[in-house]
Amino acid sequence: MQNVTTEKALKNQLASVRMEGFSFSAKEIDNVRRCLSGEITFQQFKDKIVGDVHRK
């Protein structure tokens, strides 16, 4: 079985959602990376998403 890096898994998922017609900004993708790397907690990640939605 082949090891898949977190970055490769993220790129695969982004390709999948793009095929479904969705897109994400560079800021949104960066926040996902920061959460996956442990730089921010999931709660902080979630709060950023909610904050961004409320500002739109």
DSSP string, 9-54: HHHHHHHHHHHTT----HHHHHHHHHHHTTSS-HHHHHHHHHHHHH
pLDDT greater than 80 at residue 2 = no
Q: What is the pLDDT of residue 1?
A: 61
pLDDT band at 46 (very low <50, low <70, confident <90, very high): very high
Among the listed residues 14, 47, 56, the one whose alpha carbon sits nearest the alpha carbon of residue 33: 14
pLDDT per residue as tens digits for the range 11-44: 999 999 999 999 999 999 999 999 999 999 999 9
The residue type of 22 is F
Burial (CB count within 10 angstroms: exposed 0-12, middle 13-18, buried 19+), residue 31: buried
